[in-house]
Structure 1
Amino acid sequence: MLSYLALASGIMLAQIWQLPNLIAGLLVIFSLLAAGYLRYKTNFHAQAKLHWLLALSLLILGFSYASLKINWRLQQLIQQPISQLTLQGYLTTPATLKDNNYYQAEFSITRGALSGQKILLYYPAQEQLNAGRIYQFSANLQPLNLVTNFAAFDYGQYLIAQDISASAFMQGSAELIKTSYAPSAQINRLRVNLINYLEQTLIGQKYAGMAIALVTGYQQFIPSTQWSIFKNSGIIHIVSISGLHITLVAMLAVFILSLILRYVLPPSKIPQQIILAWLGVCVALAYSLLAGFSIPTQRTFYLLLLMAYLITRRRYIPLLNKLSITLSIILILDPFACRNIGFWFSFSLVATIFAMQSAYQQHSSKVLFWLKLQLAMLLVSLPLTLFLFSSYPLIASVANLWAIPILGNLLTPLILVSSLSHWSWLIQFSVQLLNYAMLPIEYLATISPYRQAQPDLITLLIAYLGVILILLPNALKGKNYLGLIMFCALFMVVPSQRPNYGETQIIAFSSPKAGFTLLQTQNHNLLIILSRDPQQLAKQLEYTLLPYLQMQHISQIDYLLTNQAESSSATLLQNQGITLLNQTLPETINLDGVNLHWSQDHEQLALISQGHAETSYIGTGYQPFNETHWDNVVIGLALAKLDWLFSAQVNNLLINYAKDDRATKALLDNINLPATQSYDLIERGSQKIKHTTVVEG
């Protein structure tokens, strides 16, 4: 197991820092030869020193190999915009309707200089691109947006992990060329057909989107209100197709075939156990491909594949060894897999289950073992959940007592079998059962989750060292007390320090569709929201601003300032659990020694903030003030001409703008702009200003 963990650790280390290709290539050859020689030597000499040298060589092998793979993947990215490029290829994922006027889908290119690469394609809603068909069209290609906001989901890195090279926007119409018989195209065709059939069959069903997600892994039909229920109750793993679903379906197929082999077919020379093992692998592969082959499904499939191989070879290895081999296989095939959140939850929780089974199951009653397992799962999942989401559903253990046996073990196989059989009455009946089964979950989801400031990486590692001490079966004196103290470091995290009296802290977020700026004084939070299209606010707020508020445990906004006369911003904040004390800001006010004055002209808005030794501007670029010397200028969303900046003296200039706003982009690139420091929020991501200094988040 040590060897496989060393190899996997090397691959994960390469996510932080990569070697140049030449050095990485030489190290791959050297470490591969060294690992082969040391592996041969350990067959004859069981010395601990040789095992540690083998582990070191595999660590270097994994690190150098992953460096090569990551460098190659990054070199495939489109670095500059390309206009009117002719593309030919097919869709590899179901298309998702965005804003009711265009579709988004992953597209595999089959001809031309970019042949073999995948892009994220956007095309008009009136265009009908069918899965399993090859199309040709003209498109404008744009590099991926690789910047992110504080604590927000890194969508750019996610796209790189999905092997996406660029974003493409279709120009004109697409021409149908022929049918594609590529496996990924045909799998997507089957998946899309099943999604469309279920969508039509389940019209009017409350949890139709959840049922479609359980069968196909396609989650776009699940409304945001239901996602909140899943998150607050801690059952998201039930909704996302995971190892539980794959294992259940494989076991169901194995059970049915075992009956056929026993009572219908004549005896075979091949042992029944081997036949059933490989049938389970085939069923797991089919379901995994239908569901999009996510990280949890990959883990389960490779684990079942390994177990079938071991059964065929009549070999036995411990469960944790099997899991470590599966971990190595996944990372070798795709080093980017460890950038997926599901990767860490999937392997950490399954490793916990396997470790508890090995250590305690034989020495405890079933009830006692179950209680120990629940405690271990809580201890392992809590630190990672707080680190990623700054919250934890306290009711998760109770909700899963109902969700796992009823939703997972009973209803998921029923919905899957009825969907594949295309018996509409059975599909509707099973989803109606799902509607009733979700009633207890809906009630439990009304209990607010525990929230706190996000712990840093060091605190996370200390907490996990404490978890290891607590779960160690050896009776080391005082280990549980020490482990508990280390674990409790999670709850000693405090939010970032507030500004002093008379000073401000400004956090400006990057979003081309809406502007979010948070101004903090010693005891108050003022939120400025700027937008052209109020319809875009909900999604932008959820993915841009909300993660930072949760990370810093900010649950109250004292004042809201927006450029929209009838803004839904207040409702959006309250729906996310953020208390808003005042929906308007007085035109002139002093907050903790900071004078604030704002002015508005239709959609144009400007705010001036004057503290003890700082003067700041926040707004759309509209400038009604007489001030010409600015310590900080934050253009939350550029909606006005910014020519006044050339006659002003600015220390820190932060600008957020729409991607098609070439005038603002040109202004930022102007070397004559009289600003000491200029920050393009679209290209550099969110920034924080403390007093008069831009600092890292």
Structure 2
Amino acid sequence: MDKRLFCFCAGISTLMLWPWLPGWDWWLPLAWLGWLCWRARPALACLLLGIVWALCYSHWQLAWLQQPALFQKSHIIAGSVVDAQHRDRGASRLIVSLKSLDGQALSPRPRVLLSWYGQGAAPARGDEIHSVSRLQPPHSLHNPGTFDSARWLLGQGITARGYLTGTLAHQAAVPSWRARLLARFRQLTDGQPARDWLLALSFGERAGLTPADWEVLRALGISHLFAISGLHIGLAAALGVLLGRLTGQPLAAALLGGGLALAYAWLAGFSLPTQRALLMLLLWLALLCWGRFWSGRRILLVTMALLLATMPWLALNQGFWLSVLAVAALLACAGWLGGNNLWRLQLGLTLLLLPLVMLLFGGVSWLSLPVNLVLIPLFSLLLIPLLLLACLLLVPAPGVAAWLLHGLGRLFEFLLAGLHWLAHALSPWLMLSALAQGIVLLAAALLLAGLLPRGRPVAWLALYLAGLQLWPGPSWEVRVLDVGQGLSVLVTQGKRALLYDTGNRFPSGFNMADAVILPLLTRLGIGRLDYLVISHDDSDHSGNREHLAATLPVARRLGAWPEGPRCRAGQRAEWGRLQLQVLWPEASTGHRNNDSCVLRIDDGRLALLLTGDIEARAERALLGRGPRLDAQLLLSPHHGSRSSSTEAFNRAVAPQLVVHTAGFNNRWGFPSPEVVARFAQQGVPQLVTGEHGMVHLAASGDRWRLVNARRPGPWYHRLNAWLNESKPLE
């Protein structure tokens, strides 16, 4: 049975790796093959069954996206708010289950993520809304180390995102019992500095935690303590079982434990982590009452099979795999090391999950083990039991609940002050470059090879992959980053780097430096910039200049800086093997598009031309001045706007490749059809960062070698191509 369950889960999980989404009609031959294999190879049949179900489910959920002009115009939508995250600044985020689109009923009801920019109160969970909305398919910026939002959206069951442009009707839901308890909780904790932390631990409401708070939790390796999941649900059940045993009836103990766990999951809004933990716990309690024994492995596999059968896209959810592998590692440690020693269990769990945490988050916390050894007992024996007791007393004894919450708030103030001090004074989070991660994985693979009876092939494979990592790379490389509608280009010679522009920074606090540039630099092992060039003052080019200058050592600044050397035509510099030459402007304030710093970088055989946002007037002036403009790689001026890239300028540059730095589905329609047609008439290949992702090129003699020939990754990174009949994915 275990083997069949494992194969069924593995079959569904293959959707993480599909390079394209197979056609709907693939299910029939796969199902027929599975039926033929059932008697002789039941495990293979279960694997095929999982693949068939994942395929059918994906087409069933995505079918509504193929409606004509879905993403080209606004639509009237009607639906109910499944979840709402309200923020003090920036847009509130609503997850809405759509009932109809332009008056047409939808089945199944798709989930969409909508941004709310209204001035009044945003809709709350359970509200019915009738609104005007613009939608777009799941899409993510694609750069090494960048958060994969397309995968995250599908992993949450969300098949489109967008924003509300107008509200036609808004019907508030009748407050549920949970909403009333939450309102009472907020009232009793009003004014407490630790209120947001108490809300996260009791009701799973984490919108109040700031990015700085999450940085502290990540640095100390304790994010799991503030995300209600297995530890919290298991603790609630344990408290119920202990109380139930006082009656002397095993059935009463199981029922009380299950009931308390169910109540805690209800308080937390039945989030996905609580659902996983609750299902596993209820299954174990049912077996206990039934008098049957299943191994922990079987309970885990049954839980996985039930969850994946209900929603196959959970396989795209990183939290799902973190919790599953954490339970598997805990079972392995309990079997190998014994289950009575907390220190040994925590050490084994930390070591087993180290590669996964490193790959998912790009680093490790060297302080995680001792901090968890202190905090897990503290949370388990004191903080969570008292918090649950306070929640139980919110209605029958609000005075006692207020007294408990006040005491817990003071405890959390002291605790959080200590955690912030540890995170900032000791800096325990170690961001690892790709090379450092490879060394860690190599060591783990060699250790595994030593433990396995026939591990020599694993060792040889690990050493071969290590040799590939150490092989010398090209003399210089160019990475045109995918920063949405904006510009940022990284030029590297080994560990030496020049950054041209920094992408945008938004009022909500989200910025391309933290989301894209810094993770990429860390991955490449680059800790300083030789040059930070800002073409001009537009925020989509300069939005992160101060932040990057404060975060990284910068040897030389150039361009649109409040203080520092401006770009002037004729400036030259030697940078390693490369020559830097400023071609424009003659005199600059840095405030206008035509003041953009035009920079030519070459090694004598191969050249790159960076043009910022110059327009036709500046292009004509450049042609009149007569500097050398030819370059094998050109970044189209002004993101491919029709105000730029004149035919004469394009012919003077004579590029082998043009990159348009235009965001996916941007509202300006960049690159413009006229510009695309001009380059096409010239026979020049073109790439758009919003469609392709980061464009990575390496110097190869007198030509550029495109390292990533197409947008990398599985099928959900190319959903737009699947929806566009001119570029079919299947």
TM-score, structure 2 as length reference: 0.79
Distance 1:304 1:523 in 2: 50
Structure 1 contact 507–518 (Cα < 8 Å) conserved: yes
Amino acid at match of 2:707: V
SS at match of 1:506: strand
Partner of 1:573: 548
Partner of 1:28: 31
Partner of 1:693: 705
SS at match of 1:61: helix
> Displacement of 1:639 after TM fit?
9.3
SS at match of 2:685: strand
Amino acid at match of 2:85: A
Distance 2:177 2:678 in 1: 54
Structure 1 counterpart of 2:53, from 58, 62, 65:
65
Partner of 1:95: 85
Distance 2:451 2:252 in 1: 38
Distance 1:197 1:635 in 2: 57
CA shift digits 1:420-444 (9 cap, x unpaired): 5443343232122112123443343
Amino acid at match of 2:208: F
Matched, 1:361 2:333: no
Structure 2 contact 113–161 (Cα < 8 Å) conserved: yes
Structure 2 counterpart of 1:288, from 253, 265, 268:
265
> Displacement of 1:238 after TM fit?
1.3
Distance 2:402 2:331 in 1: 39
Structure 1 counterpart of 2:240, from 245, 253, 258:
253
Matched, 1:679 2:690: no
Structure 2 counterpart of 1:316, from 284, 289, 293:
293
Structure 1 contact 379–467 (Cα < 8 Å) conserved: no
Distance 2:447 2:305 in 1: 24
Structure 1 counterpart of 2:359, from 370, 377, 387:
387
Structure 2 counterpart of 1:429, from 407, 416, 439:
407
Residues 1:514 and 1:221: Cα distance change in structure 2 (over 3 Å): farther
Partner of 1:398: 370
Structure 2 counterpart of 1:654, from 642, 659, 662:
659
TM-score, structure 1 as length reference: 0.82
Matched, 1:105 2:94: yes
Partner of 2:143: 149
CA shift digits 1:350-401 (9 cap, x unpaired): 1121123234428xxx4xx545434432332121122223311111111111
> Displacement of 1:534 after TM fit?
6.4
Distance 1:403 1:178 in 2: 40
> Displacement of 1:409 after TM fit?
4.4
Distance 1:193 1:516 in 2: 48
Matched, 1:557 2:516: no
Residues 1:537 and 1:212: Cα distance change in structure 2 (over 3 Å): closer
Structure 2 contact 220–371 (Cα < 8 Å) conserved: yes
Amino acid at match of 1:611: D
Structure 2 counterpart of 1:670, from 646, 658, 677:
677
Structure 1 contact 214–239 (Cα < 8 Å) conserved: yes
SS at match of 1:168: strand
> Displacement of 1:525 after TM fit?
0.7
List gaps (5 residues or longer) in structure 2.
Answer: 395-400, 560-564, 713-730
Distance 2:199 2:405 in 1: 11
Structure 2 counterpart of 1:133, from 127, 144, 169:
127
Distance 2:262 2:32 in 1: 33
SS at match of 1:92: strand
Residues 1:538 and 1:130: Cα distance change in structure 2 (over 3 Å): closer
Q: After the TM superposition, which residues 42-81 of structure 1 pair with which residues of structure 2 at under 5 Å, given as runs?
A: 53-77=41-65, 80-81=70-71
Quote the RMSD (CA, aligned, Å).
3.7
CA shift digits 1:432-459 (9 cap, x unpaired): 2112123443343233433332379999
List gaps (5 residues or longer) in structure 1.
Answer: 39-49, 181-185, 263-271
Distance 1:645 1:258 in 2: 82
Distance 1:436 1:463 in 2: 39
Partner of 2:110: 117
CA shift digits 1:504-523 (9 cap, x unpaired): 41111223354322111355
Structure 2 counterpart of 1:442, from 386, 400, 420:
420
CA shift digits 1:125-182 (9 cap, x unpaired): 32432332222122233333255222311101221222223223323333135747xx
Structure 1, 220-229 or 565-574: larger mean CA deviation? 565-574
Matched, 1:170 2:159: no
Structure 2 contact 11–46 (Cα < 8 Å) conserved: yes
Structure 1 contact 85–139 (Cα < 8 Å) conserved: yes
Structure 2 counterpart of 1:593, from 563, 577, 584:
577
Residues 1:449 and 1:492: Cα distance change in structure 2 (over 3 Å): farther
CA shift digits 1:31-57 (9 cap, x unpaired): 36854xx4xxxxxxxxxxx6xx22222
Amino acid at match of 1:657: A
SS at match of 1:110: strand
Distance 1:574 1:230 in 2: 26
Structure 1 contact 152–544 (Cα < 8 Å) conserved: yes
Amino acid at match of 1:569: N
Structure 2 contact 221–367 (Cα < 8 Å) conserved: yes
Residues 1:571 and 1:411: Cα distance change in structure 2 (over 3 Å): farther
SS at match of 1:551: helix
Residues 1:214 and 1:32: Cα distance change in structure 2 (over 3 Å): farther
Partner of 2:602: 610
Matched, 1:9 2:16: no
Residues 1:207 and 1:169: Cα distance change in structure 2 (over 3 Å): same
Kindly, what percent of the aligned residue pairs are identical? 22
> Displacement of 1:688 after TM fit?
0.8
SS at match of 1:559: strand
Structure 1 contact 76–165 (Cα < 8 Å) conserved: no
Residues 1:245 and 1:533: Cα distance change in structure 2 (over 3 Å): closer
Matched, 1:227 2:227: no
SS at match of 2:56: helix
Amino acid at match of 1:613: R
